[in-house]
């Protein structure tokens, strides 16, 4: 049994990364089982660092995050080596005794069989590739938002700031376009800022849902109306995300949100409700509201402040005292 003995009683099987260097991971939490990928070697350095599930935040050691396919593969490689060695060892025992001069009984032992087949697999394609701003880990996930598998920080603020960068680029692009295209790009940039803020706000509040006064109300939060959102967040988490803005800045942000609403639903034509709620005296009823380049740039700057506020304050909030 030389070949079999040489295998020893344990051996390591390496799991190779995909063509872009990412290794698949699967959350061991039964209620999640989410699939994601990370690039080993990027991110935090050190032995036995835990892994955070980007979807549910579950924390466990890395060896609990093998995917089912990786485990199948590793088992099949082990069986392949064992059966291969066994067959080789048994082959050595083969013999053939022919009957002598056609008289007597001949005996033979022939070993047939092939090693256990290896179960190969391919890592799946995911939707968003992220480089963590905090620890530089490269990871990919389904959807857009998630926790960094290495340092555990949630990427919602990072993704939001990236979207604002994109909006800023659209504005820059507008500067050397003909009027109609430039106008559309600026309006699109404004709309993108609001929808990204809405996505960010909902996501980051959900991340801290356990700290909310009534968690079920966090699920229905919307950030498309900034004044209402400020009130809801105040009720749920007990802080004001407009803190640090002066009254001009806050009034300006409110007007930008109303302008976005007008463009999304009324082709940008001012109605009485816009004039009243946005406090915009520069436009008359039935006329098109203008959106200027520096207006959107200013808006982006203030949104970054509000987003930072939200992120910091949510982190500081104590568990709601019931």
Is residue 274 near Zn ion by the rule CB under 5 A? no
Is residue 147 near Zn ion by the rule CB under 5 A? no
Is residue 241 near Zn ion by the rule CB under 5 A? no
Residues 6+ apart with CB under 8 A from 191: 260, 263, 264
Query: For the CA atoms of 134, 138, 139, 143, what is the dihedral angle to 10 degrees?
Result: 70
Choices 11-19, 109-117, 137-145, 304-312; region in contact with Zn ion by CB under 5 A:
137-145
Choices 9-17, 55-63, 106-114, 245-253; region in contact with Zn ion by CB under 5 A:
55-63
Return the number of the residue (53 or 270) whose C-beta is nearest Zn ion. Answer: 53
Choices 143-151, 156-164, 254-262, 290-298; region in contact with Zn ion by CB under 5 A:
143-151
Selected binder of Zn ion within 4, 7, 15, 56 (CB under 5 A): 56
* Both tokens assigned to 202: 């909902």
Residues 6+ apart with CB under 8 A from 109: 93, 94, 95, 96
Rounded Cα–Cα distance for residues 135 and 150 (Å) = 7
Selected binder of Zn ion within 22, 24, 27, 241 (CB under 5 A): 27
Q: How far is the CB of 56 from Zn ion (least distance, A)?
A: 3
Q: Which of 124, 12, 19, 115 is nearest to 68 (CA)?
A: 124
Q: Write the CA distances from 171 to 22, 166, 198, 269, 303, integer angstroms.
A: 35, 9, 20, 22, 16
Is residue 130 near Zn ion by the rule CB under 5 A? no
| Alpha carbons within 13 A on the beta-carbon side of 204 | 28
Selected binder of Zn ion within 148, 204, 254, 306 (CB under 5 A): 148
Q: Which of 244, 238, 39, 286 is nearest to 148 (CA)?
A: 39
Whether 52 contacts 59, CB under 8 Å:
yes
Is residue 151 near Zn ion by the rule CB under 5 A? yes
Return the number of the residue (9 or 48) whose C-beta is nearest Zn ion. Answer: 48
Residue 35's beta-bridge partner residues?
A: 26
Return the number of the residue (38 or 283) whose C-beta is nearest Zn ion. Answer: 38
Choices 1-9, 92-100, 134-142, 277-285; region in contact with Zn ion by CB under 5 A:
134-142
* Both tokens assigned to 8: 């020893």
Q: Which of residues 275-314 bind Zn ion (CB under 5 A)?
A: none
Residue 108's beta-bridge partner residues?
A: 96
- How many residues in the shown chain lie near Zn ion by CB under 5 A? 15
* Both tokens assigned to 35: 């699939």
Q: How far is the CB of 133 from Zn ion (least distance, A)?
A: 8
Is residue 32 near Zn ion by the rule CB under 5 A? yes
Return the number of the residue (26 or 198) whose C-beta is nearest Zn ion. Answer: 26
Selected binder of Zn ion within 78, 135, 144, 302 (CB under 5 A): 135
Residue 140's beta-bridge partner residues?
A: 37, 129
Rounded Cα–Cα distance for residues 247 and 36 (Å) = 44
Helix (H) or strand (E) holding 109: strand 107-109
Q: How far is the CB of 123 from Zn ion (least distance, A)?
A: 18
Residue 4 backbone phi and psi in degrees, to 5? -65, -45
Is residue 15 near Zn ion by the rule CB under 5 A? no
Q: How far is the CB of 159 from Zn ion (least distance, A)?
A: 13
Choices 67-75, 112-120, 135-143, 251-259; region in contact with Zn ion by CB under 5 A:
135-143
Summarize as ranges the residues that interact with Zn ion (CB under 5 A).
27, 29, 32, 34, 53, 55-56, 58, 132, 134-135, 137, 148, 150-151
């Amino acid at each position: 049994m030389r070949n079999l003995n040489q295998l020893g009683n344990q051996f390591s099987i390496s799991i190779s990364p995909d063509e872009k260097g990412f290794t698949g991971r699967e959350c061991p939490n039964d209620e999640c089982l989410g699939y994601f990928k990370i690039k080993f070697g990027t991110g935090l350095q050190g032995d036995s660092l835990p892994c955070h599930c980007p979807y549910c935040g579950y924390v466990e050691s890395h060896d609990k995050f093998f995917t089912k396919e990786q485990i199948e593969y590793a088992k099949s490689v082990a069986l392949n080596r064992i059966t291969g060695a066994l067959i080789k060892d048994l082959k050595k025992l083969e013999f053939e005794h022919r009957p002598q001069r056609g008289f007597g009984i001949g005996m033979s032992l022939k070993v047939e069989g092939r090693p256990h087949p290896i179960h190969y697999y391919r890592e799946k394609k995911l939707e968003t590739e992220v480089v963590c701003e905090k620890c530089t880990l490269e990871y990919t996930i389904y959807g857009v938002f998630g926790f960094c598998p290495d340092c555990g920080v949630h990427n919602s603020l990072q993704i939001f700031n990236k979207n604002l960068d994109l909006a800023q680029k659209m504005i820059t692009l507008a500067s050397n376009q003909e009027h109609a295209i430039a106008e559309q790009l600026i309006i699109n940039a404004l709309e993108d800022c609001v929808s990204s803020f809405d996505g960010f706000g909902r996501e980051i509040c959900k991340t801290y849902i356990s700290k909310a006064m009534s968690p079920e109300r966090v699920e229905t939060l919307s950030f498309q109306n900034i004044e209402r959102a400020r009130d809801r967040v105040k009720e749920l988490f007990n802080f004001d995300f407009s803190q640090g803005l002066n009254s001009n800045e806050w009034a300006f942000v409110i007007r930008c949100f109303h302008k976005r609403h007008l463009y999304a639903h009324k082709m940008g034509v001012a109605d009485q409700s816009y004039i009243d709620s946005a406090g915009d005296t520069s436009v008359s009823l039935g006329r098109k509201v203008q959106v200027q380049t520096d207006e959107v740039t200013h808006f982006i700057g203030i949104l970054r402040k509000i987003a930072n506020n939200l992120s910091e304050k949510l982190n500081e909030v104590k568990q709601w005292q019931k």
